[in-house]
Structure 1
Amino acid sequence: MKSCCNSTPKNDKNTLTSTCSHQHQPHHSEVHNNSHSIICDHPLTDTHATPSWLTRMVVLLVFIVSGYYLWQQWPTMLMESIKWQRNINGQLSDLLYDAQQNITAAYSLAGLSFLYGIFHSLGPGHGKVIVTTYLATNPAKIKASLIMTIISAFVQAIVAITLVSILLLFFKSSMRQVNDTADQLISYSFMAMLLLGVIVIYRSLRQAWQLKMAQQHHNHGSECGCGHKHFANADEINNASSLREYIVIIFSIGIRPCTGAILVLLFANMVGLYWLGIISAILMAVGTALTTSAIALLTLSSKKIVSHYLATNERQRIMTRIIIKLLGGILLVLLSLLLLNGHSYGMSPVL
């Protein structure tokens, strides 16, 4: 029996055609390897995933216009906030005097104190500037942000209660002396705000340097199959869970005592119902915590939406976050210097 490999076809032309066809037909594995090489050399990019430059410009324009409108309306908002605070402070003092004669007025005082904390924290204040600036320019988790805002609000109330209690009960200080001491604490809060801005600037510059070094160390392209990680991802390069920064934020906000709580405590001490003033100050902190937590959630949600529309490739996204973080730190430094120079002129004393 003859082998089929040694068999000679009857038609030489067909033989030549078959042989040529067999020689020039690439093997299946070769086609696969070539296609893999092409994919590696020319990585596919999803053009639909990256927003167009027009979308980015529209988003940026919206924020610029919103910021300009807020800047123009700031004096009006400030004056309305001052008028509202004076009216509420007058009502709180009246309720304290009423509670001296009828203790049931304490319920109205408690409700008004809670509402005071909610609506007063909506007004202009350096605490909200710190929270919104930091959360808008730094990666932050929702849970950590809420804890930070809640603790800051209660620290304000605790500082006010401690300050008034020590000065009145132990040193028999006058109202002017209490206000002067609170004024000194306000300066300390602005200094802490300045320190926070410096820390944020330092961290952003260090992260930019680390990103540059990582790119220089791994300069052989992201399409290679070495299995190495060529640059840190966004969560690693922007470590938002910095306990040091959160402590500075809480200190810079909380060290500035709530003036509404101070006034209530002073009035309560005058009518002999100091314990009721303490309850009122705590309820103010509860209302403030609710409002500032809502502001924090709104800030994080807005940042998420903006990040979606401004999203690009990984490296550019990391560098964009670092630049935004740097600008946020610079803004905190400038605002703190402005507040230190003007000593709280034009800013609300509470969150």
Structure 2
Amino acid sequence: MVETQLKFREILADRLEGLEEGSNPALFFSLLGAAFLYGILHAAGPGHRKTIIFSLLLSRKTKWYEPLAASFLSVGIHGGTAVLLILFFQLIFRSIRSTEVQNVSSWLEGISYTLLMILALWFLLRRHKHHHDREANSNIYGTLAASSFFPCPGVIMIMTFSTALGIMKTGILAVISLSAGMGVTISLAAYLAYFGRESLFLLLKQKEHIVERTTLLLEKGSYLFLFLFSLWMAYPFFRTIIPI
């Protein structure tokens, strides 16, 4: 998969270089198609909110469209943060220095996971305190938004290259296509959690006391897993700010 992603990155670079030379509709749509496919593969790798979305959707009952909405909200913020970061360096410093982008990205990622860790712990304690309260479920959109405010490396690559070539608007359109591809992959993980939960409770439909107990265990287990996962992901960030 890594080799395939590298090939797609080369294709994207070639398309962007070709578009720098002049208008070419066929090349432009080829760029968007390659970006979309790259987004599908890129999101299939580690990270990209799949674990977080899966845990959150497993922990609460949702409507049929919420996994899709949650997935595209997450990738929209994830990609949008990268675009804004590149625009910031371009407009403020008139140049893009890769080391500075990397440093800011690392800080944003560390802060995001730290915030998510705190939220997961708060939801876990709140759910334990109000274990009979069905309204104690967390707001999935707010939690995902808080965990997605760090830039996507794939988007940074496209934006950095397109900005250097002077075709930033084309780069932003490619980013939108890439984000749509990522949304497809992440939606699959989201619906896996959604249908898994629905199937489980369909089997337990006639046993209300078991359903309530299972619901509570699923929610607490998901929040605990989310807390531990966020702690693990934020650990390198803690090492940089707290000498050990």
TM-score, normalization: structure 1?
Answer: 0.62
- Does structure 2 conserve the Cα–Cα contact (< 8 Å) formed by 1:121 and 1:292? yes
Name the counterpart of 1:83.
3
Give how far 1:271 is off: 1.3
Q: How many residues align?
A: 234
SS, match of residue 142 in structure 1? coil
On the 8 A contact 2:127/2:136 being kept in 1, the answer is no
C-alpha displacement of 1:239: 4.9
Structure 2 counterpart of 1:265, from 150, 159, 166: 159
| C-alpha separation in 1, matches of 2:123 and 2:3 | 35
> Is 1:237–1:318's contact at 8 Å kept on the other side of the alignment?
no
For each residue in 1:149-189, what CA deviation from the matched residue of structure 2 results, as whole angstroms up to 9, or x when unmatched?
22211112221111100112222341221122112111122
- Larger gyration radius, structure 1 or structure 2: 1
Matches within 5 A, 1:1-351: 80=1, 82-104=2-24, 105-172=27-94, 173-208=96-131, 211=132, 237=134, 239-240=136-137, 242-243=138-139, 245-253=140-148, 255-311=149-205, 313-342=207-236
Structure 2: tracts of 5 or more residues without a match = 238-244
Residue by residue, what CA displacement relative to the aligned partner does 1:2-24 show, whole Å, maximum 9, x if unpaired?
xxxxxxxxxxxxxxxxxxxxxxx
Distance 2:123 2:205 in 1: 23
Cα separation, 1, equivalents of 2:127 and 2:225: 13
In structure 1, distance between residues paired with 2:221 and 2:109 = 24
Counterpart of 1:119, as a letter, is L
| Counterpart AA for 1:294 | L
- 3-state DSSP of counterpart to 1:121: helix
8 Å CA contact 2:5, 2:41 repeated in 1 = no
1:260: how far off? 0.8
Instruction: Tell me the alpha carbon deviations over residues 78-115 of structure 1, each in whole angstroms, 9 at most, x when there is no partner.
Output: xx3x3333222222112211222243222211111111
Match of residue 30 from structure 1: none
Work out the CA distance in 1 between the residues paired with 2:3 and 2:130.
Answer: 45
Give the direction of change, closer, same or farther, for the CA distance of 1:202–1:142 in structure 2 (3 Å limit).
farther
SS in 1 for 2:69: helix
User: Is the CA contact (8 Å cut-off) linking 1:135 and 1:299 kept in structure 2?
Assistant: yes
CA distance in 2, matches of 1:275, 1:126: 24
Structure 1 unmatched ranges of 5 or more: 1-79, 212-235, 344-351
Q: CA deviation at 1:265?
A: 0.6
- Once the 2 structures are TM-superposed, how far is the Cα of residue 238 of structure 1 from its aligned partner? 5.3
CA RMSD between the two structures: 2.1
Determine the C-alpha separation between the residues in 2 that align with 1:91 and 1:342: 33
Q: CA–CA distance in 2 between the matches of 1:238 and 1:83?
A: 46
Amino acid at match of 2:134: I
The whole-number CA distance in structure 2 between the counterparts of 1:84 and 1:256 is: 24
Q: State how far apart, in whole Å, the 2-side matches of 1:284 and 1:126 are.
A: 13
Q: Percent identity over the alignment?
A: 24
Instruction: Output the CA distance in 2 between the equivalents of 1:186 and 1:103.
Output: 37
1:147 partner amino acid: A
Take 2:31 and 2:216, find their aligned partners in 1: how far apart are those partners?
Answer: 47
